Structure formats: C-alpha cells, structure tokens
A and B are shown apart, each in its own frame.
Chain A
C-alpha cells in the first residue's frame, strides 16, 4: 500500500498551501489557501488535478484547515461554493471564529478597493462556514469508519494546529505553520510521539537559525524604554491579530515590573475585537497566560488605554499601537506623519513589509525624507527600530520536530526551493530519514505500513501476557557485531512490536571501539531481553486465515518432527607422510587422525570440552569427521595433492556455535599437522 501526496500549492514556494494526501485509499485535503502574489488563475490551487470529473465530494474524505491565514484558507469559499465541494471541513474553534473575519476583510479589499470581479461573495463565505466542523486539541475525530484525525497545538497564531491522520496502520502528520519556541502570548508546538509513515512540514526558515528571543525582546524593550525615558513617543504599527498582543503583553509586563507610569495606547479600531477573541480563547494561549488568567486575564492590559485622535499632539511620552502594520495608510500613517519629524520619537517596523509601503521605504536604508505623494513630503528624523519577531519555527526547530517524531518519510512544503534542498539534505544525512521537496502539482508516493488481521493461539496470548525476560551475557571476544544481534532479534517480530528504528545510535561508543579500544564495551556486556512477543510465529497457509502461534506449537501444527539447521563445511587437511602407518587400513588411519586432531583441539581450546566418539569429534554442537566420500556437497576444494598424507574432514554445527566453528576451522587450516 502507498501514501500518495499530491502537492497543489506551497510546493517549493510560500503561498496557497494545499496538499492532497491519499492514505490507504482515503483522500484528505490539507489546507486550501490562496496565493497573494498572483491575480490570475494561479492564485488558487489547481483543483482539477484531484478529480478530472470535478466530483470532489466522492473523491475527498474531508478538508482540514490548519489556521486562519489566507494562504491556508483563502481558497476555501471558492472551493466549496464555486467548485461545489460539500463534504466535511475540519478546523479548530478559534480558526472557525476568526476565519470569516479574515475572508470577509480580504474580499472587501479585493472587490471594494481594487475593483476586481469578486471570486466569492459574503454569502459564499457564510455558506462555506456552515460546513465546518470544529475540533478541539487532542480530540480524536472519526471522520469515517477508517479515517481518524486529531489536532495538536502548533503555536504560530491563535488556533493554529497540526493535524494527525490515520487510516488503518498508516499514519501521518501535516504541520501547517508552527512555532517551536513559545512567545509571550502563544505556546510552543506540542505533539505526542507516534509511529508515523509520513510527516509533511513547513520549511519557511529552512536554513535560518534564530538566536534567543530574549535578545530580541531586550533590544525592543531597551529601545522603547530609552525613548520614553527621554520624553519621546513610540509608534508601533502592527497587524491587529497576533503581533500586537505579543508586544503588548511584553510591554505591559515590563511596565508592571519596572513601575513605569507612561501611558500605552491602543488606537480605537484596532484589536478591541481581537482582544475579545483572545480573552475568550484562553486555552489556546501560552502557559503563562493560562496560569495567571484565574487571577488576571493577561489580555486585560493594566497599563493600556484607548487612544483618542486629539492626543496625537499632546505633550509627553507615550507608546501607541496602530494599524496597519506596514504604514500603508490608515491611522498609523496619520500618526507617522506627525511624529516622524522629531528626533526624540521612535517608530518600530515589523519584520516584513511589502514593497511600496512606507514601512518598506524605512527599512531600506535610512531616508531623511519620504515622498508621500506629489505634494506631501515627510521629514523623517525619528529613530527606527526593526522588529525581528516571527511566528515560524527556525531550521533547528524543524529538525527537532522531525527528530522527535522520527517518521519514515518527510515531505517539505511552504519554503523557498534552494533552502529546502539544503534542509532536505540535512534531514537525510543527519537523521537518516528519506526526504522530499516536491514542486507544485507533483505527486510523491511512499510505501505505508500495511496491517494484516491475524488470529492468535491461546498459548501465544498466554505467553505474551507473562513476563519472560532473560539476561544475555555477551562474550566480548565474539566478533558478532551488535548490529547483527539486534537485527536477528528483530527479524521475526518487526510486524508486531512497535520497534523504533532510531537513526541516532544513542551510545556513541558502539562504533568507536572498532577502531580504538576493543576492550571498551560495544554496548553493555549484559543485555536484557524480553522475548515474549518474539516467540510468536506467523503462519500463512493458502485458503486459511493467517494465524500467530507460539514457537512451541509450530511443530505440532505442522505435524513435523523437530529439525535443526546445521551448517556444514568440508575441507582438506594434511597429516604429513605416514610411512610407518602406510600399511594401515583405511579405518585405523581415520581413527589415528581423529585422535591427533582431538589432542590438537584440546590443547588449543582449553576451555572447551572436546570429545572423541571414535567416528567423530564433538565440541558443543560442532561435529567433525573424516570424509571419505568421492564428492561431498560441502567441499570447498576438490583437489588433494597427496592422497596418503591428506584427507577431507567434514564438519557441521548449529548456528549458535558459529563463532566456535570458524575458530576451529581456522585452527585446522593454519596448522599443518605433518609438522608435528
């Protein structure tokens, strides 16, 4: 069975996230985003690739939306209302609450301001949202008989989630956007360790490693504090959701701690509604907010007041949050015009600004004049502080997550191609996990875990429920590599035990000692094992149900006698010319040779019991006899130079004594008995 992963968007790019995954026959669409950079057909994913007949309802089991950003949800109304998808849509509660606001806001901008033909109407949005089924964190949803999904906390924005999906034994996780380090208002992504066939992860910062957030916070607080301490005004243009709350908590907390009395303002339109949502959705915020909210809701900012337009020119220091974030217009531009000319004041800029906005102009170089339009020119004297907060995880975080989950395959989406290639190489080389970075409209197929239903015998069940551990003492002189041991051990049972194949060899000395000190243990000398499951044997017969039986039952089942596998070898050995024994018959010559060998081996293997039974020698399970057959199937060479002075010896042994056997053979090979 396979998992097919069709990337409709965000393949080797950022924008219009949309991945359609087929697991054991079930088809799920993860995210349904739009690309903000395009205005033509490329803005939406090419849905026709899912189904040529455009019968989405039958081919898709469900649609899952990870969070409310437009590049993850923007195409949803189009897909449901225009393309006609009617099946279930899953998203978290906060996403469901905030998505219509985002979509409507976007639609207005598109239609009202830019005068484009509308792709979907307000009614479409409302109709679309009616199909949404909200899910809570860690709540397992049975979409249909076979398909299970579960949401995990992802950080990033309010309500963002990673989704786990499982069909039969094949399981996968789609991360959406996530953040592995917490910020002041949202927690870090959190997920359980699971057996996964596939992990699809974002890779926005595939090669960046960010420094501690403390540094960023410190710089920000220092800049703001210095500014207000010298009587200046601070303008913080932000987007209404997310960064505004983050910075506001940071400042509010600092104000509280440092006993500062300088006012912090929120411009009216901004965040009143957003803060309300945050206050309601406390369980989706960071640990600190959750812990303290019984005494005080962190979003009831103590030092924050509403701003009135008349206060723009009021004297004295203050801090003001205003929309929009990139100073592209609106209130933040209005305030910027008044405050920019003073050297005392400070303007902070978000991490990213679209080209053409004032924010972008301020970021590039340090202009002293900015032309607003033909007639107006702003004199910029104020200080500028660039913020470096980002809600995406860095490459270390991606690696950490992949390492923690240790899936069998990784697919990277939502990133820039060259960086993704680097990350892909790292995942492959450092973690030993095959990794893919498909482009848009490409399909990646990977094999998935297949489950077989099998009956089991009562003896096996009984043996499974009883502990049965053993201690294995490993002889350090054995050259059996520990790797071989473990693979042997796991051979029969890989189907049943949930053995983790961890690519990191946790004990670093395993591989070292080969080269250096061989007396250093290769793993512990003593190992503990519990074979209760390993003792099971899978029996598949034609026309009968598959069955698992205990190993002791097998012979009974097959109606066979016990048999063992023996290894055999037949090599020549030289005994030197035996003049005085030349007359001896064949039989007595054999017994003489055997007794010679017997004494030889006894002296070499002082710790073993070498028995001579006349016909053959025995050491443990190893037996040796003189082979007088014309052609022996185990013979390694057929040529003997001197018939009277040499003979073939035939030996066989059980697998357990393999080392011993080869030791004896090498003794015999090395030693020319004729010399004694």
Chain B
C-alpha cells in the first residue's frame, strides 16, 4: 500500500505502540490488514502484538482474521510464559478451524499446531493428552474441501512428536476400530467422546494418500515421517499404505513415499512382507531414474524377512538391470549391501546356484550374463563381515577378479579397487588361482595373444602384500609398473600393423586395469600414472583408426571422423594437461600428433586439407626445432614427412596434396619406446556443486542470470594459464565464463582451493532443467586463429574435470 512512498515508509518505521494501536483500531479494514501483515517490521512489544493478534481473530472480516492468525503463527517462536495466554490462543485457533473461509481455516491449522505444541510443552504432565487432541483436530481437517487446508493439516501433523497408538491406528482405517467402541476404561475420555474422536481421526491417512492433489498426497506421505517410529503396529499399517503409493501417478509423491520408507528403514521399523514385494519391487522397473535410485537406496538398508523375499528382491534387481543397464554400478552396490545384511541367505542361494554359474561345470547360465554377475557380487559380499565364507566356494572370488573393474566401480563408496583386489585374492587363496591358469609367481612372459592374464598378475599380484604395507613401496611399485607397461606398449605396435585389433584392445585393457589398482594409493607419481592411463587410451584410439584405415571397405566415414576427433582431442589433452615433460616426451607426443594429421590426410579429405597441411608442417617444424636442440637424428617417419613437405614447397590452396601418398608415408612410422619422467604433474580440477540435487535445486527467475556456487580445487594450474567454465544445457547451447582464479588466492600453483560463484546467463523459460558444468583449460600451443568464439575462449579447451550436473528450478511466487 505505502511501499512505494519512501517518506511514508520511513514514517511508518517510526510507528510506536500507541499509533500502531490507534491505526489498528481505526475503521479502515485495509489499513488494519496491512498493519497486521507487516506488524513484525515495527518495533512493537511482543506482548502487545500477541494481544492485538489474538483480539483480531474475532474480527468479522475474514482477511483480518487470517492476518491475525498468520501473525500468531509467526509469533510462536518467541517464548510466551503465560500459560493462560497460550491456552487462549490455542482454543481460539481451534474454534477458527470451523471458519467459513478457506484461508482462515488454513491459517488456523498453522496456529493450532504451533500453539498446541507450545501448550503441550508448557504443561509436560498433560503433553500426551494435548498431543492427542491436536492430532484429532488436525485429522478432522484432512477432510476439508480446500486443498490448501488439507495440505497444511498434514504438514502440521508431521510436527507432532507423540500420539497415542490407538489414535494412530484409527487414522489408518476408515472404519471406527473396535478399541473405540464401548470401551470405558480409558482414563482420559468418556466413551462417546472417544468415539467422536475416532470419527474425526478415522482414515485420515487413507484419505490423504488418495487425495486428488499431489501436494496433499505428498504431504500426507511426509506426515508419516515422525509418527512411524511411535508404534510398530502403526508402522506396519503405514508400510502397506506407502507400498500402494508407489503406484501413484506423480513422481514427487512416489519419491516422498520412498523417502518416508527410507526413514522407516533407518529407524529400524521397516518390516517388509512377501505381500508387499510385488508393489515394492515394481518400483525397480519404474521409468523414472530417481524413483529407481531411491528404491535401491532403500534396499541397501532393508531387512528382508525370509529367503523368499530375498530371492524376489534379487530377481527384481536383475530384471531392473536388464532393462536399465545404466544402473549397473548402483545395482551391484545394492546387491553387495544386501548380501552383507543377509549373510545366511546369500550362502544358501549361492550354494543352490553355484552349479549353474560355474563355467567349469558348464552351467546353463552363460558366464557373461547379467544374472551371473549379480550372483557373483552377491557371493563375494557375504564374508566381508564374518567367516561364513567357508560356505561360498572360493572359486567365485577368482571369477570376481575378472570383473574387477565393474565391481570396483560399483563399490567405490565402500572401498577402493586395490582393497577389493586384495580381498578377492585373499578369499580365493583356498583354491589357488592356478585353477584358472593364474600363476602368482609367474615371470612376465613375452606378449603373445592369450598370455595377457599372466601379465596382469606379473605386474600387480606379487605386489599385493606390499600394498598393505608402506607407502614408499607403493610409490616405487607404481612407477615400476608404469615403466613395465610403457615398454610393453611398444611391443603392441607390430600387432597394430598386422591388424590384430581384438588382441590389442584386450592387452590395453589389461594394462589399464593393472594400473588402476594404484589409483587411490599413490600421490608421488600420480601425474605419471594419469599420463600413462591417458596414453593407453590414445593407443587404443590409434589402434582402432589404423585398423579402420587398413580395412577393405571404407564406407564408415562417420566412425573414422569421430575416432580421429577423439584422438586429436586426447592428444591435445595429453599435451596441455601435464607439465614437466622432458624433450623426449614432448617429441613423442608431437610425433603422434603428426601421425594423426597424416591419418586425416591419408583418407583423402578434401574439405579442409589446407588447414591440416598447415598444421602438419607446423608440427613438423616444431619437431625439427626440438631435434636441433637435442642434436638427435630424426626418425624415419619424420624424415619422410619433412622430405615430402619440402618437395611440395609452399602450402597454397593450389598446391595439391594428392601428389603425396600419405598411406605410404604412414607405413614408415614405428612406435618408439617412451621413457617416462617421474616429475610429470597432472593439471586437474575438482569441482563440487554443494547442496544441490534434484530435491534441492537452485532457484532462478527465467531470463535473469543465476549464480551457481562452486567449490573448486585446482591442481598444478600455474598462474598464467587461462581457465573457462563451460555450461551446457540440453547438449545444444554452451556458455563460456572466464574463471579468473588469481585474485581468489587459495593456495599455490600446486593446489588452489576456493569457492566461486559462476553466473549462468540466459536462463530458459522452463520450470526446471539440468545444466552441465565443467572447467576447461585453454591450450597454450594452438595458434590464435584456430578458434574464434565471441566472448569465449580464443583457443581450444582441454577439460580438466568431470562434468557436473546442476539442478535448477524456476522460482514460484508462493
């Protein structure tokens, strides 16, 4: 009303008690409402304010009553000592539960709970009695015709701490329970009073969860949150009810139901029965990922009563995994937890199915099936806790070792890969890995197809005991392994040339897995380790591209294009994300880049050969420069390239590259041995968006920028490097925001830690969306002209952290 007039506002701020009162008691209704609504912003004595609010709950104008009630509900926080005053407010609010106007009833509900709880706290000896009374009154409001009132009533019920079991049970049944009929012994009430009470309460939750409005259904599920702990009988009833809610058509309601169930599980009162399982497990095949994930979270905690339900849950998980392969790691994690919680059941199941999953006995289940994997994870879970392991055949642990990558990914939250590996080895000892041809003491053999299994053990397994001991040893082990692997990579080259793609990939995978063992354990050589892993990835791509080039049919342009793109990007990342290269390493990478460019030209691409030719010559001259510094003879391949380029002369649009046979040129390339320097440092960033998930989105106003708070740790980013945020939405549009980290301080070049608010412009007109955010490093070696984005980075970006999802939701007026 007067908010626009600044003079008036300042005058109003100086309102004292007396003028406030005289204005309130004036005949103008609108002024009265305004004053009551804004009463808290004036310096009025709380006791006076309370009296005024209480008095105006008698006003004939509904909006005045509502404002007064709202004021009372707001005052609830301030402690009122006067018992009779509390009582008076509470009873007045109860009277107003019957008001004609929706808005008044809705406000009255809030006052009833706030002041009712105060009243109960004020007279502890009658707390039970008051709580029951409040519960009954609120329950009767859950049958109100106004959605807001119903929803508020459930929100209020959630705040109750104690309610008698009888009343709770009654709220789950629409029929009046026999305990309320004709029973006279209850101390507090008369029979007819009690029946009346029962009628008020009857079926409140049943009505709540089948309400027309999802807001009401949601708050009804939420209201059960605290009450379920009060009585086992009640929690049983609530469980059946919530199971049905899993069939609700609104996702938010289903999630809320699962949330409440989760709380039940935490509070140890979730007692699942076989009858529930159909409904319960059907949520595992829910279309919505959040629902599935919430149910899995629940399954991790749930205590299953018998083998039947356990088997049903297992089957449900496997079915879910078959239809939603993206859930694999989480499902496996659930199985692991379930196994830990039900050791005996696992043992009996595994004993039953061992025949089927054991490839040695030619079980009817294929070894690579999802179900077998599930069984294996289940089997290895059990002995983690105790010594029941004797009943699980040790051979399963050997099988599990072959799935190490997937299993360790799934169990990342419990233990790291090396622990799992050590654990699997430990438990499989009884049979000895020799059963499967494992040879723990084996000497590294020459790399021939089929012998890869020995190699992984040669690298990793003898060191397993050492891992548990000293860190120094670990670091040394790591660098040793890295060197061994890099020397083996060189041996792959002939395989690439002869086109044994399958073998190569398998070998590379084995190398990778062997190295991943160290991921969590070392920090001294983490740079070298990261480099080697990235290098292996690049070798995989080189192998694939090479294979594609030599294959007869050349119709797969798309694949070719995408592989080369990945290769280029990978090399760029390799070159820009590590610092401390020796000259040799740098030359090695440059040579690989040269190969990549040559590969592009080899396929006879016409569209941009000029750019690529320029790039090629640039890289070649770079290499030349390095060679001169080191006084080393260039390799055959580099010589050939230089010769060809000089033959071609100046690179002009007219100059034809067809005169060069790049395929022939490439044949001269051989992969040299890469001697890695121990000083390599990995440039990386850790990005965390705190306090943001699908339930707690960031709020935004469409069209206005929104600030995303990020916690960032930068590793090895020197001060002259430029960092950019990339924020994408819908995979279509990207925004780049420059990250000026220098003024933020937060440490040295090696580690910087700080928080930064990233502005996200151009928020869409959507009620909610997910933005993906990551940090990119501007490459230092690309020439300026390569990329021109308006306002964005001038050179290509190498991304140095995992992409994070940010949940955003439009702000609503209410």
Contacts and interface: CB of A to CB of B under 8 A. Distances in A.
Interface of A: 181-182, 184, 187-188, 190-195, 209-215, 217-218, 221-222, 253-254, 256-259, 286-288, 394, 396, 399-400, 403-404, 430, 462, 464-467, 469, 471, 473, 498, 500, 502, 504, 506-509, 511-512, 515, 521, 523-530, 532-533
A114 to B, nearest CB: 41
Nearest to A258: B285
A507 B94 CA distance: 8
Given A258-B286, A528-B92, A214 B25 contact: no
Nearest to B136: A508
Interface of B: 24-27, 32, 51, 54-60, 84-85, 87-88, 90-92, 94-95, 97-100, 102, 129, 133, 136-137, 140, 143-145, 174-175, 188-190, 193, 195-197, 199-200, 202-203, 206-207, 209-214, 241, 244-245, 247, 249-250, 278-279, 282, 285-288, 323
B286 A467 contact: no
B174 A526 contact: no
B100 A498 contact: yes
Contacts of B27: 462, 465-466
A507 B206 contact: no
29 contacts: A193-B145, A194-B100, A211-B174, A214-B210, A214-B244, A217-B244, A217-B247, A218-B279, A257-B286, A259-B287, A288-B212, A396-B202, A399-B199, A400-B143, A404-B145, A430-B195, A430-B196, A466-B26, A466-B27, A467-B32, A471-B55, A506-B94, A506-B95, A506-B137, A512-B188, A524-B84, A524-B92, A528-B57, A530-B60
A103 B377 CA distance: 66
Contacts of A218: 244, 247, 279
Nearest to A430: B199
Given A209-B175, A524-B90, A525-B88, A187 B212 contact: yes
7 closest pairs, A vs B, by CB? A214-B244, A530-B58, A182-B212, A469-B55, A526-B88, A524-B87, A525-B84
Given A221-B247, A509-B133, A521-B87, A212 B210 contact: yes
A404 B212 contact: no
B55 A528 contact: yes
Given A466-B25, A523-B91, 11 more contacts: A182-B211, A209-B174, A215-B244, A257-B287, A258-B282, A258-B286, A286-B212, A462-B27, A506-B94, A506-B95, A527-B91
A471 B47 CA distance: 14
A512 B197 CA distance: 13
A176 to B, nearest CB: 17
B285 A508 contact: no
B327 to A, nearest CB: 13
Nearest to B55: A469
A527 B143 contact: no
B282 to A, nearest CB: 7
A256 B58 contact: no
A214 B195 CA distance: 27
Nearest to B24: A467
Contact of A396 (B88, B100, B203): B203
Contacts of B137: 506
Contact of A508 (B98, B193, B210, B286): B193
A195 B744 CA distance: 67
Nearest to B193: A508
Nearest to A467: B25
A524 B98 contact: no
A615 to B, nearest CB: 41
Contacts of B279: 218
Contacts of B32: 467
Contact of B98 (A213, A502, A521): A502
Nearest to B32: A467
Given A467-B56, A506-B98, A524-B84, A181 B90 contact: no
A526 B87 contact: yes
A524 B193 CA distance: 19
A214 to B, nearest CB: 3
B290 to A, nearest CB: 13
B212 A467 contact: no
A469 B58 contact: yes
B91 A507 contact: yes
A462 B27 CA distance: 8
B88 A258 contact: no
Contacts of A210: 174
B189 A508 contact: yes
Contacts of B214: 287-288
Nearest to B91: A524
Contacts of B91: 507, 523-524, 527
A184 B244 contact: no
A429 to B, nearest CB: 9
Contacts of B200: 504
A250 to B, nearest CB: 9
A508 B195 CA distance: 11
B197 A508 contact: yes
Contacts of A462: 27
A510 to B, nearest CB: 10
B58 A288 contact: no
A257 B251 CA distance: 10
B241 A530 contact: no
A444 B27 CA distance: 46
Contacts of B98: 500, 502, 506
Contacts of B244: 212, 214-215, 217-218
A515 B191 CA distance: 13
A469 B188 contact: no
A182 B87 CA distance: 38
A526 B145 contact: no
Nearest to A253: B249
A529 B188 CA distance: 29
Counting chain B CB atoms within 10 Å of each CB, which of A195, A215, A507, A526 scores highest?
A526
Contacts of A515: 190
A469 B212 contact: no
A184 B214 CA distance: 12
Nearest to B56: A467
Given A287-B212, A288-B250, A530 B92 contact: no
Contacts of A399: 199
B175 A212 contact: no
A467 B278 contact: no
B494 to A, nearest CB: 48
B795 to A, nearest CB: 42
A477 to B, nearest CB: 15
Contacts of B24: 467
A526 B212 contact: no
Contacts of A188: 211-212
A190 B213 CA distance: 12
A511 B189 CA distance: 9
B668 to A, nearest CB: 54
B100 A508 contact: no
Nearest to A470: B55
Counting chain A CB atoms within 10 Å of each CB, which of B32, B87, B91, B278 scores highest?
B91
Nearest to A527: B88
B367 to A, nearest CB: 27
Nearest to A498: B100
Contacts of A469: 55-56, 58
B265 to A, nearest CB: 21
A253 B199 CA distance: 34
Contacts of A512: 188-190, 193
Contact of A467 (B55, B195, B249, B323): B55
A586 to B, nearest CB: 51
Contact of B323 (A259, A396, A404, A502): A259
B180 to A, nearest CB: 13
A478 B308 CA distance: 67
B57 A288 contact: no
A256 B285 CA distance: 11
Nearest to B57: A528
Contacts of A403: 143
Given A184-B249, A506-B137, A507-B94, A524 B88 contact: yes
